[in-house]
């Protein structure tokens, strides 16, 4: 079967008529996904715009200035442009239709009125917005221009409808404020015909320097062309060149009721490549906006239909499919339709067009969300990511941990791309160069990292000390790095075991126990440790959140003392089972008052901070400690309180490119992998499903079964506790089962009730496997 992503790339999906409104009974999964959900206080990469899965083009409205978490904010009733790129640390080519006197200044976010001093920004009525996967529309009150957006993977389509006769201007602005506003180093626009404009913008933020090449075409002749550089406006020219604040405009005489359409495409390689992307992806649709929109809808519905749910509330279905949508929307394909891309050394490269090279923020702790979702529901996507990692390794010499624009960013701790690679292999997803993958992992975990010439970082920081001492000393960096390095060591050990590499297995399984080197038994917490082996004295369990320097990266000792994905039993042994359970349960009780989120990035203050990565496994740990009913209780509480269903409340913390979304999807199905699925024999832990019936449609290219069904009989918010379980017709008396039992097809039946069955799955023999507890 050809995967949805290949269908999208090759544009082979059939074009249907535009969707009409449907009743709840007729709804498709795509109808439940709401891109506006959570867009109050969302980040640049998470917006209500039009894109395809991992789209290079992510057309979306922008309405904020250059502030943290900027981009689109639902509570601001104006729009300052619709830009093409919403990737981490990257932006490019904003488009804005205006009427009347030409104004080339965007204007402040808090002053959207007409006039030169306030700019071309337009007020909107929030009620005029429409957003669904692959489509966004709004009416701009300055001119009442109805603006619609849709897209393919690398190209965008705009439709502007003018209710009155107007002097119309379509502005192309390069200076885009966002949370990592880039400096425009060099840029150029050229009008090459009456309907087409091309150009580029070389821009830089910190270590990330990249060039956005673009081609724009209209379905009507341009009546006037010009631009601006700073405060200088250029009229009736064919070329604009400069740097800094600059852009171009195309003028039209819009008649009453007239529609002007615009298509665009981008590339990081060249203008010719941008034109190739445009022609390849848009020409099959000609100028039929509705056909492109329906194509996007079909691609998304195919993806979202990989999981079908029955029963439950309409609100939970909306939350489920919106969070599933978010799991595929924020990371970015950066290779062109023919496989060309720019590597980490700014060299043009060629790869297989069906195996794109991708960029993103870090894979920090995605083993608790995205990894397990992708490897289960879309193994083709997991494979795509592994092949992208290896392509970057081949050309750059290191695996990437956050390859924004295909650069080594050095963002976050450790090299958790390794976990995704190992999990894919262990689950039978092996259509990549396995020997090269193992070689790359060994290099990453045995070689101290380096500063790149661009100012980024490749590999692991503080690694010389880790290799020498078995921990990261307080004088050098965050003690929490020790825990994350040890987890990656365990992943490599499990890969070595699967490959029969005995020597490597012994080396890395020994290093996987390094977490013990920073656990202080006198206080039973992971504690900051000096180079001479002494414990840092000025310390408390809630202290020392760090972004740079010593401490705990975006967390505290309380949270990181439970961070041991590969060996939960090892932490229980060190802490004591009663202390483990009591401390964890009390932490949930305290954090429930805050909806499990530390507001304002105050990571020290709340024990269970689901709004950030280091703590996202916490509710699942009771399966290991003899109290699985508390996993059932607290996963439900997080789904109810932390996650919402409105633009004002989607998720409370930092939704890093789908991680919060993927956690919800897995937990709503009642499945989780604390160890990230990287063990030689992967397994799923069981929680509390929120739907009566969940059907996972398995990819038969990778998995032998057709479907796996989870029935949660009598489930409700009250009936959240498992009374008994049957797996494939046989009683299941433990809160976990093997991945192989899922992907060969079958059924898990859970009888649910209002009170915990404290006998089910709670015996010492029932706990899931850990490094210290083999099955």
> 468, exposed or middle or buried, with CB in 10 Å at 0-12, 13-18, 19+?
exposed
Residue 19 confidence (pLDDT) above 60: no
E strand or H helix at 109, and its extent? Answer: none
Confidence band of 185 (pLDDT split at 50, 70, 90): very high
Percentage of the chain beyond pLDDT 90 is: 90
Give the per-residue pLDDT at 651.
92
pLDDT tens for 44-95 read: 999 999 999 999 999 999 999 998 888 999 999 999 999 999 999 999 999 9
The distance from CA 224 to its chain's CA centroid, rounded to whole angstroms, is 41
Average confidence (pLDDT) over 165-191: 96
Q: Both tokens of residue 319?
A: 């939350």
Output the pTM of the full model: 0.95
CA distance to 370, 425, 429, per residue, from 432 (Å)? 19, 9, 8
pLDDT tens for 103-126 read: 999 998 876 544 445 799 999 999
For domain 353-627, is the CATH number 1.10.150.110? no
Residue 192 confidence (pLDDT) above 80: yes
Give dist(CA 113, CA 121) in Å, integer: 7
Domain with CATH 2.70.98.10 in the chain: 42-304
Residue 7 confidence (pLDDT) above 90: no
Looking at domain 42-304, which CATH architecture does it have? Distorted Sandwich (2.70)
CA-nearest of 139, 162, 143, 130 to 49 is 130
For the chain, what is the mean pLDDT?
94
Give the per-residue pLDDT at 117.
53
Residue 690 confidence (pLDDT) above 50: yes
**Residue 465 DSSP one-character state:** H
Give dist(CA 311, CA 713) in Å, integer: 10
Residue 217 confidence (pLDDT) above 90: yes
3-state secondary structure 169-212: EEEEECCCCCCCCCEEEEEEEEECCCCEEEEEEEEEECCEEEEE
Residue 139 confidence (pLDDT) above 90: yes
Tokens 């990453």 sit on residue? 444
Average confidence (pLDDT) over 216-237: 97
pLDDT tens for 519-566 read: 999 999 999 999 999 999 999 999 999 888 899 999 999 999 999 999
CA distance to 177, 202, 370, 579, per residue, from 243 (Å)? 15, 9, 39, 60
Per-position b or e across 99-127, b if 16+ CB within 10 A of its CB? beebbbbbbebeebebeeebbbbbebeee
Q: Both tokens of residue 752?
A: 């649910």
Residue 775 confidence (pLDDT) above 60: no
Confidence band of 8 (pLDDT split at 50, 70, 90): very low
E strand or H helix at 475, and its extent? Answer: none
Give the per-residue pLDDT at 9.
40
């Amino acid at each position: 079967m050809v995967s949805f992503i290949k269908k999208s790339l090759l544009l082979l999906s059939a074009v249907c008529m535009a969707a009409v409104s449907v009743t709840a009974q007729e709804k498709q999964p795509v109808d439940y996904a709401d891109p506006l959900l959570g867009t109050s206080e969302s980040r640049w990469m998470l917006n209500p715009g039009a894109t395809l899965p991992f789209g290079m083009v992510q057309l979306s409205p922008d309405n904020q200035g250059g502030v943290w978490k900027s981009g689109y904010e639902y509570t601001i009733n104006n729009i300052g442009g619709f830009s093409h790129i919403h990737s981490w640390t990257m932006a490019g080519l904003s488009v804005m239709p205006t009427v009347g006197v030409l104004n080339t200044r965007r204007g402040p976010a808090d002053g959207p009125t007409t006039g030169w001093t306030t700019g071309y920004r337009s007020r909107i009525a929030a009620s005029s917005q429409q957003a669904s996967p692959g489509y966004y529309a709004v009416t701009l009150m300055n001119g009442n221009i109805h603006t619609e957006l849709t897209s393919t993977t690398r190209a965008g389509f705009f439709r502007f409808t003018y209710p009155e006769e107007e002097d119309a201007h379509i502005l192309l602005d390069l200076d885009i404020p966002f949370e990592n506003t880039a400096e425009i180093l060099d840029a150029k626009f050229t009008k090459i015909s009456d309907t087409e404009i091309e150009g580029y913008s070389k821009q830089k933020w910190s270590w990330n320097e990249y060039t956005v090449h673009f081609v724009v075409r209209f379905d009507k002749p341009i009546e006037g062309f010009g631009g601006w550089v700073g405060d200088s406006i250029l009229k009736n020219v064919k070329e604009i060149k400069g740097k800094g604040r600059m852009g171009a405009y195309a003028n039209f005489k819009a008649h009453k009721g007239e529609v002007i359409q615009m298509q665009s495409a981008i590339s990081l390689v060249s203008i010719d490549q941008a034109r190739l992307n445009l022609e390849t992806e848009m020409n099959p649709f000609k100028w039929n906006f509705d056909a492109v929109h329906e194509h996007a809808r079909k691609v998304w519905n195919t993806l979202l239909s990989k999981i079908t749910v029955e029963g439950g509330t309409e609100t939970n279905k909306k939350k489920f499919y919106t969070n599933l949508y978010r799991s595929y929307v924020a990371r970015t394909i950066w290779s062109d339709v023919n496989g060309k891309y720019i590597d980490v050394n700014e060299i043009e490269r060629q790869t297989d067009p069906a195996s794109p090279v991708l960029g993103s923020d870090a894979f920090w702790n995605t083993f608790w969300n995205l990894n397990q979702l992708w490897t289960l529901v879309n193994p083709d996507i997991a494979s795509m990511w592994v092949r992208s990692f290896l392509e970057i390794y081949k050309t750059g010499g290191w695996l990437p941990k956050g390859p924004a624009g295909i650069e080594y960013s050095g963002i976050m701790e450790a090299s958790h791309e390794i976990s995704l690679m190992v999990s894919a292999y262990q689950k039978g997803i092996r259509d990549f160069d396995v020997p090269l993958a193992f070689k790359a992992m060994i290099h990453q975990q045995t070689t101290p990292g380096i500063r790149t010439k661009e100012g980024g970082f490749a590999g692991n920081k503080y690694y010389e000390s880790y290799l020498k001492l078995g921990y990261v000393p307080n004088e050098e960096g965050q003690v929490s790095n020790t825990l994350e390095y040890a987890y990656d060591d365990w992943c490599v050990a499990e890969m070595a075991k699967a490959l029969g590499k005995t020597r490597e297995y012994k080396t890395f399984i020994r290093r996987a126990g390094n977490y013990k080197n920073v656990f202080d038994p006198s206080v039973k917490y992971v504690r900051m440790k000096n180079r001479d082996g002494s414990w840092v004295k000025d310390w408390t369990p809630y202290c020392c959140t760090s972004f740079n320097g010593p401490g705990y990266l975006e967390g505290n000792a309380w949270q990181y003392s439970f961070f041991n994905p590969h060996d939960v039993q090892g932490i229980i042994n060190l802490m004591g089972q009663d202390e483990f359970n009591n401390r964890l349960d009390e932490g949930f009780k305290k954090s429930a008052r805050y909806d499990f989120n530390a507001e304002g990035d105050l990571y020290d203050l709340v024990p269970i901070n689901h709004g950030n990565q280091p703590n996202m496994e916490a509710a699942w740990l009771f399966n290991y400690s003899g109290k699985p009913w508390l996993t059932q209780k607290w996963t439900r509480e997080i789904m109810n309180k932390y996650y919402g269903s409105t633009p004002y409340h989607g998720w409370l913390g930092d939704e890093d490119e789908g991680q919060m979304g993927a956690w919800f999807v897995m937990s709503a199905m009642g499945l989780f992998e604390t160890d990230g699925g990287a063990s030689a024999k992967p397994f799923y832990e069981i929680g509390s499903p929120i739907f009566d019936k969940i059907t996972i449609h398995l990819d038969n290219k990778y998995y032998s079964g057709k479907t796996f069904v989870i029935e949660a009989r009598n489930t409700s918010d009250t009936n959240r506790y498992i009374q008994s379980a049957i797996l494939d017709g046989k009683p299941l008396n433990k809160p976990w089962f093997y991945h192989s039992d899922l992907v060969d097809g079958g059924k898990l039946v859970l009888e649910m009730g209002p009170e915990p069955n404290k006998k089910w799955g709670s015996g010492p023999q029932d706990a899931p496997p850990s490094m210290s507890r083999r099955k």
